[in-house]
Amino acid sequence: MKTSKILLAFLLSIHIACDTEDDDIIIDDVSESSLTFDLKTSEDQMGGFAENTMVVFDGKVWSVGGDNAYTADDTYGNAVWSSDNGINWVSVTSDLFEARYRHTLTVFNNEMWLIGGKNNSDDFLSDIWRSSDGSTWYNVTMTAPFGNMSAHTTTVFNNKMYVIGPSSSRTNMIVWSTIDGVNWVEENANAFPVRGNHETVVFNGSLYVIAGRNETSRFNEIWSSTDGISWSSVATSTPIFNARDLYTATVFNNKVWIINGQSETSRITKDIWHSSDMINWTRYEEFIPFQSSHSHSSLVYDDQIWFFGGYIASGTSGEIWTIDED
């Protein structure tokens, strides 16, 4: 799936500011949430992209793997890209490890760590790679002790790196941790009902696993832990976001923000929810200028939420947006 050019017709007041990088479309939404959306570019050097993983490391934004303009239809790549402003991208290296999607990329102990995923034959991967510069990658192991891992999360909490995802048999939800990326400890062999394509955030001193799906249905439940070992279901209030997967959850301005994804009734959704306590959730009710999507990326960079790419109705999106709360 590749990018189609998209004509955006906005009913709001639009301010267009030209600079040397791209035309910015800035939309000021005056509402209770008071969000400002800024279209940084309609397409960058990667073209349309989705299913990649992204982190902020050493002052740059990094992207690894997934689908972009340089991969054949219905296949994924292994390219490493970087940007020193979130907008303009440079290809750093490729072909150092197997092409993949549904993997994770995490910053830990001053390095980027690439873990698992699926290859272009839909085989599960169990490898771990690390890099301190994005150009040179070292293989830590091809067979991680937790086994095949895909559609999982990798999160840093209390000076440990936690992998949370479905077991190799896809029958139970496992939690493993490490203090060095080499030696791993199984914290829980069956933490809560199995799922993938969930999100994990660190918020208010706890780990939170949000939503996701199993083989038959999606969830909108939340599980929390203060130690990675014992997990409890969060008693959320209504309204709450609908069940979903392939969305993003980002911590910003002392809130957790959930954006887009796949729901039980729609292949792609467009909505934003936020919470300051993980119990009470508020939907952003004003106009959202970007398209419905899933398999996009969101992260905090330069004191804003950055929203990257994803699959849209027409293919892959190359749009890059920032979201700021006034």
CATH number at residue 143: 2.120.10.80
> What letter does residue 72 receive in the DSSP assignment?
P
Q: What is the pLDDT of residue 266?
A: 87
Dihedral, CA of residue 220, residue 225, residue 226 and residue 229, to nearest 10: -160
State the pTM of this model: 0.90
Strand bridging mode 124-131 / 111-118? antiparallel
Instruction: For residue 266, tell me if it sits in a domain.
Output: yes
Q: What is the pLDDT of residue 32?
A: 64
DSSP 287-308: ---SPPBBS-EEEEETTEEEEE
The domain of 276 spans 15-325
Q: What is the pLDDT of residue 276?
A: 98
Instruction: For residue 4, tell me if it sits in a domain.
Output: no
Q: What is the pLDDT of residue 2?
A: 43
Of residues 123, 54, 66, 134, the one with CA closest to residue 100: 66
Assigned token pair, 21: 């990088």
Instruction: For residue 87, tell me if it sits in a domain.
Output: yes
Instruction: Check: CB of residue 267 under 8 Å from CB of residue 294.
Output: yes
Instruction: Give 10-residue mean pLDDT values along the chain (326 residues).
Output: 35 32 37 85 96 99 98 96 98 97 99 99 98 99 98 99 98 99 99 99 99 97 99 98 98 99 94 98 98 98 99 97 97
Instruction: For residue 250, tell me if it sits in a domain.
Output: yes
What does the angle CA 287 – CA 291 – CA 293 come to, to the nearest 5 degrees? 125
Instruction: For residue 224, tell me if it sits in a domain.
Output: yes
Instruction: For residue 2, tell me if it sits in a domain.
Output: no
Long-range pairs, 70-77, Cβ under 8 A, ≥24:
70/46, 71/99, 73/1, 73/2, 74/1, 75/99, 75/120, 76/51, 76/100, 76/101, 76/119, 76/120
Q: For residues 232 and 222, give the distance between their C-alpha atoms in angstroms, rounded to a whole number.
A: 9
Number of domains in the chain: 1
Handedness of CA 276, 280, 283, 284 (dihedral sign): negative
Q: For residues 41 and 62, give the distance between their C-alpha atoms in angstroms, rounded to a whole number.
A: 17
Instruction: For residue 153, tell me if it sits in a domain.
Output: yes
Residues 6+ apart with CB under 8 A from 20: none
Instruction: For residue 9, tell me if it sits in a domain.
Output: no
